Chain A
């Protein structure tokens, strides 16, 4: 009897609507974040992450309402990422019913913000999102760097050192996304996930590249992740969260069933 490894479906939300297509056969409105979140909750999701990909401030206010709606009907932890830049942004999301926020670019432009956020709200609700790409060439030892703007802009920051630094500043959890694997469906960058997970004491969520159930299992077994995040594998009805958990359990991983 011990802590279960977590499965976290992730929803991209633009102006209050889920994008990237969610196709449950018997869902009335596949763009409604509340309906989709409820569905994942019923399937046994351990948490749900919303990624606000909206550009404008007006639309961000819409995200607050989405969180409020979901939080009054879904009673599992909710994380909101995207556009979290100030203490006030965090407060709004937590007050709306989010349990954690994921800080991404703001951490890179101003690392002290992570510390300020943790001091103000506690480490338990601060997730730092790390978008990393492999920069080493074949034959060299592995090296990853932090990229921004959806993987287009390099920062020159070493991903492993960055992860350690975020832990020192108080982050409660790290969401590690391989920008090389994101959207490829060929599986996590397991070396990246494992190298970071073994370098810090806080939990690591593996993200980027899940295309089949075995990838989730690999993320835990070989990637040493505490939790695995996936989007399309669940959105398109390819697999339910429940099936994913059964597959992990079969592989000897402790899950909440």
Chain B
């Protein structure tokens, strides 16, 4: 039976790159669909939730599409992969844009890097950095410990419950770069731009049966 994977389109971010990377790793039975319709999210077998840009603009765009309820439901029910801003807006609240309430699917805040102690470090955190896998997870399958992924961001998530942390990265300060909870996995880096490691993560996601 064909498997339908929906890449959520809310007008934010490089969803075509995400869809292309997923397509590259998908088998013949898997269809990658870009959609902004709540009913497609409801009927999908798995969800990829990308995102880019500012938190406020993302939340506004999500509100306008009427997808929030479907996304919250999907995040509790089916394989769900959040990428970059698609990780951050899962949290309760973000400091960005003078503070903005997010989807509250995961408890915790999104905060800005404070690099006053590290004047040599640049902002945004842009480039290839290592993810230290802090728990075993099907999505880390065949991805070596401390592999490098491509990042671009100035804010990071601080989950309330450390048990959901799946990966950590250091840029001046150590921060949570991946989280895992039941059927949900989300990553701060861009697997669609992270060469072999990123493609392997898509493959793992497409094969995942939580």
Contacts and interface: CB of A to CB of B under 8 A. Distances in A.
Interface of A: 1-6, 41, 46, 71-73, 75-77, 94-97, 99, 121-125, 172-173, 201-203, 226-227, 256
A99 B18 CA distance: 11
B129 A122 contact: no
28 contacts: A2-B170, A2-B171, A4-B127, A4-B129, A5-B127, A41-B195, A71-B16, A72-B23, A72-B24, A75-B17, A75-B195, A75-B198, A75-B199, A76-B194, A76-B195, A77-B150, A77-B193, A96-B16, A97-B16, A121-B53, A124-B124, A124-B126, A173-B126, A201-B123, A202-B122, A202-B123, A203-B127, A227-B127
Nearest to B191: A75
Nearest to A203: B122
Nearest to B152: A124
Contact of B129 (A2, A77, A201): A2
Nearest to A42: B195
Given A72-B20, A76-B195, A122-B53, A99 B127 contact: no
A226 B127 contact: yes
A73 B124 CA distance: 27
A97 B23 CA distance: 14
Given A75-B193, A256-B148, A94 B14 contact: yes
Contact of A172 (B14, B20, B124, B194): B124
B40 interface: no
B21 interface: yes
Interface residues of B, number: 36
Contacts of B20: 71-72, 75, 97
B123 A97 contact: no
Nearest to B57: A122
A103 to B, nearest CB: 17
B124 A3 contact: no
**Chain A contact residues: over half helix, strand or loop, or mixed?**
loop
Contact of A122 (B52, B125, B146, B198): B52
Nearest to B16: A97
A162 B190 CA distance: 31
Nearest to A204: B122
Nearest to A197: B122
B121 to A, nearest CB: 8
Contacts of A173: 126
Contacts of B124: 123-124, 172, 202-203
Interface string B58-94: 0000000000000000000000000000000000000
A6 B127 contact: yes
A121 B57 CA distance: 10
Contacts of B132: 1
Nearest to B199: A75
A77 B52 CA distance: 14
A72 B21 CA distance: 7
Interface string B140-180: 00000010101111000000000000000011000000000
Given A41-B195, A46-B128, 17 more contacts: A1-B130, A2-B170, A2-B171, A3-B128, A3-B129, A75-B17, A75-B20, A76-B195, A96-B16, A97-B14, A122-B53, A172-B126, A172-B152, A201-B123, A202-B122, A202-B123, A226-B126
Which one of B16, B23, B132, B198 has the greatest number of beta carbons of chain A within 10 Å?
A: B16
A6 B20 CA distance: 24
B192 interface: yes
A97 B20 CA distance: 9
A47 B75 CA distance: 32
B54 interface: yes
Nearest to A201: B123
Contacts of B153: 124
B127 A76 contact: no
Contacts of B21: 75
A222 to B, nearest CB: 14
B129 A75 contact: no
Which one of B23, B24, B152 has the greatest number of beta carbons of chain A within 10 Å?
A: B152
Contacts of B151: 3
A173 B171 CA distance: 17
Given A75-B198, A122-B53, A203 B16 contact: no
